[in-house]
Each structure stands twice: as structure tokens, then as C-alpha cells.
A and B are shown apart, each in its own frame.
Chain A
Amino acid sequence: MSWLPLAHALAARQDLPVPAWLFAWGASIVLIVSFFALAAAWRKPRFERQHWRALGAGFSRAAVSMPVQAVCGLVGVTLLGVAVYAGLRGTEAPDRNFALTFFFVTTWLGFPFFSALLGDIFRPFNPWRAFGRVAGGAFRLVAGQRPAHLAYPERLGRWPAAVGLLAVVWLEIVYGSSGGVAVGLDPHAAGVAALVYSGYTLAMMALFGVETWCERGEVFSVYFGMFSRLGAFGVEDGRLGRRRMLSASTSWATIPGSAAVVIASIATTSFDGAQEGAFKGAIESVFESLADAGLGLNTALRLTDTIFIALCFAGVALVYLLGVRGMRTVQGAPSLAKLRDGFAHTLIPIALAYLVAHYFSLFVFQEQAQFGYLLSDPLGTATTDLFGTANSGIDFTLLSANAIWYVQVGALVFGHVLGLVLAHDRAVAYWSDYRQAARSQYWMLAVMVAFTCFGLYLLSVSNG
């Protein structure tokens, strides 16, 4: 393999017992049945309160104690340093360099998966947060006072993170494309990008404060933190505790721009899945028009992909806003703005489902490289073998094409059912009459069915 297959999930041709489109019908039926079951049996909100309970007294404090955070922060800073160094000094072969797999597979895909199960595990390992806190502490020691920060413009909310998320994916799958072939970003560019992002993040932390920026503008904290709200573990008052799964998500979208973050996640995954499948013909057509208009091949391709990412973002936002608008027509509905923000968290399981469906196989295969030859030979120069695994390979027989398809379908159906559950729960909190609440969810059912069928269509075309 001479390039990283970042464009979409790895899947060979399947041998399914029924046509792939029948799975979309089956998934739609599951969603409709779930909708009626919720309407009949779920009459009171259950996720508005987290029911947080501390884990064992000593453990709950020790797990988030300063020494533990210091060790985790050090690990985060070290790994970032290794990845940047590998990017700048290692081989230019993307599949042999530690940096690309570490940034775009292990971190970018791994943290969402594990955060959704375990809570915000990125927070202690966040290298910029660790660095910022140390710098803040040093400032206090030297100056004898806390660093003064600017007040963060509240209206800006999480918009910097939404734009940053689009930029990260743009860098990975648009900037990294050239000449009509997805070759992946070259490691040197990834290393430089990581350095630029580090400088930008540390400057923003100095301006607005470490925690404020992590909560609102730092792309990775906001993005991984969003998925962590689905998980069963969370920190309150300096203690680690258990909470009702999904419940923390209900308070996530109270900051402006949160809806844009989750929409950007769904849109970018959709684009990545569709660019070599469902959208291939349209992309080629626009690309040829731009190239004929005199643009260079790389510029034309990047501009085409950028247009399609923007269209995906607009499309996903439009479907969601139509659902919200539909809810507004139901008697007793709150304002449009309240509905728009109040239901944004229901898209988080869908964003996760799209990630699992599109990248599950890539993650399983590429992590064998990460913890095998890339760990032993991070620079890819074939001169080091730190752990004796530099000659290991990737076992592509680990997952069959059918197994991948069933995981994809299962993830999409499960994610959308969770989305329906969260939406129904929020509706019974907003509407005093549960029948009106159920009626309002007709529209979210349409949104969920649309996203499910679209997701399955993208996968069926890219799996070919």
C-alpha cells in the first residue's frame, strides 16, 4: 500500500444475501417502529438530569488528581512532539510515517470512539491544555498574580471550533489530494500544520484562558468533548463519577455554534464517503469545468472539493433546519432558536454513527500499523526498531467485507435510534402534552430516516 486510504472505509466487494438498498428499507422500518414505541411509552424526560454519582471516594479524586493529570499531559505533549518530529524529519511515504496515522486515524478517529464510551478522555491528554496550564502556573510564580485574559465574545461561541473542524478535514482530504488521486497529506505538511495549529491554540489560550478556549475554540477539545457527552463517565467538582448515558449531551448545545460543530462532523464524513462514490461523477464534472476555465489541476481539484464540502454542510444543515421548522408548526412549540439549539445534541449519535460506519475498517486496519511498524520505526527510515515490530504488517483478512457492511448498517441504525430517543426525550421536556411532543417528532423521524438512507447509500456506492 503506497498511500493511506483516508478517503473512505476499506471494504472489498460484498456478498450480501439481499440487495444493499433493502437494508435502507429495513433500517427505516426499525426507526418507524422505534418512533411509535417511544410515542407510546416514553412520556417523561429522563435525560434532562445526569444522575451523577461519584465513583469510590478515594478513586474518584485520585483519577483526576494533579499528578495523574501531569503524567497524562506529559504523555500528550511527548506524543505530539514525536508526531511533529516524524512529520518534519521522517520519510515522505505517508504509510511509513508515524505522523499521518497518528494524527488522522489514532487521534482523529480513536478519541471519538473511546470518548463516547468512557467520557472526556482527551482532556487530560490534551497537549496544548497541559502546556497552557504549565505556562499559566509559571506566569503566576514569576508575576505573583493570575494571568489577565480578555473576555471571550459569547456570540462567537463554538464557531471557531466548527470552522477549525472543517479546516482540519479540508487539510486532510482536500489539500492532501492532487492530480485527481487521493494521495493523502504528505507528512511534512502535516508536521507544519501541527506546529501552526499549536502556535494558534497557545496564542488563543493566552488571550482567552486555557479552559475557556478548550470549551469553545480548541477544535480537538470541542470535537472529542462533544462525543464524550454520550458517555457514562464525567468529572464534577474535581471528582470522577458515573452518570446516566447520553444525559450529559442534553446540556452540550447551550453554547452558540454547537449545532454547526455537529453538522460539520456529519457533513465532512459524508463528503469523505461520497467523494469517490456517490459524488464522483459530479465532482469530475465540476473539476473539468474549472480546469477548462484555466485553473491549474491542483487548484481546480481543491476548489471543487471545497465547493462540495460546503454543499454537504449546507445540505446537512438544511435537513436539520427543515426538521426544526416542522417541529415549530406543532401547537405549543417554543421559539425556532430554542428548538434549533435544543435539538442539536440529537445529532451527536448520528455523527458518531457516520464516523463508525465510514472509518471502522480503516481504523481496525491502520491501528495494526500504528501499534506495529509505525511505533517501532516512527520516522519510517528503516533504521530503527524500537519495539521489535518494525517488520510487522497489516492483516487485511481480519475483517470480511460482509462483516464490515453489517457493522456499518448496525452503527447507522443504532446511532439514529439513539438520535430519535434523545429527540423524543427533549420533546417531552419542551411540550407539556406528550401527544403534542410525539407529534412534533414526526419531523425528526423524517430527518433520521433521511440521514440513515443517505448514509447507507453513500456506503453502498463506495463499497461498490
Chain B
Amino acid sequence: MTIPAAHVGHYLWVFYLLPVVIVIGGILRSVLLEKRRRKGDD
């Protein structure tokens, strides 16, 4: 079976988006953890 990779070039932007998504995900996770910790302190 041939992998249908003829148009894979059109989706290369995903590789550029991933670092941004990972960083934003990390930030949101950290913000949520901080909020939860603050609620726990209260």
C-alpha cells in the first residue's frame, strides 16, 4: 500500500503550531494548578 503523502506538504504548518500549543497548554495547566492551590489555601 502506498502512503497517500502527496499533499503532506500542505499540512507542515501543524509542526510550526505544535510548539505554540504545547507552551500555551503548559501555561494554562500551571495557571489552573496555581488557582487550585490558592483555593486549597483559603
Contacts and interface: CB of A to CB of B under 8 A. Distances in A.
A binds B: yes
Interface of A: 19, 21, 24-25, 28, 32, 278, 326, 329, 439, 442-443, 445-446, 449-450, 453-454, 456-457, 460
B6 interface: no
A19 B34 CA distance: 37
Contacts of B16: 21, 24, 453-454, 456-457, 460
A445 B20 contact: no
B19 A449 contact: yes
Interface residues of B, number: 15
Contacts of B17: 453
Contacts of A443: 27
B23 A28 contact: yes
26 contacts: A21-B12, A21-B15, A21-B16, A24-B15, A24-B16, A25-B18, A28-B19, A28-B20, A28-B23, A32-B23, A442-B30, A442-B31, A443-B27, A446-B20, A446-B23, A446-B27, A449-B19, A449-B23, A450-B20, A453-B16, A453-B17, A453-B19, A453-B20, A456-B16, A460-B12, A460-B16
A39 to B, nearest CB: 12
Nearest to B15: A21
A71 to B, nearest CB: 49
Contacts of B23: 28, 32, 445-446, 449
Contacts of B20: 28, 446, 449-450, 453
Nearest to B9: A461
Nearest to B27: A442
Contacts of B30: 442
A439 B30 CA distance: 9
A262 to B, nearest CB: 21
Contacts of A460: 12, 16
Contacts of B15: 19, 21, 24-25
Contacts of B13: 278, 457
The residue in B12, B16, B27, B34 that gathers the most chain A C-beta atoms within 10 A of its C-beta is B16
A21 B30 CA distance: 27
Interface string B1-39: 000000000001101111110111001001100100000
A227 B32 CA distance: 38
A443 B28 CA distance: 10
The 4 closest A-B pairs by CB, nearest first: A21-B15, A28-B19, A457-B16, A442-B27
A446 B19 contact: no
Contacts of A28: 19-20, 22-23
The residue in B12, B18, B19, B31 that gathers the most chain A C-beta atoms within 10 A of its C-beta is B19
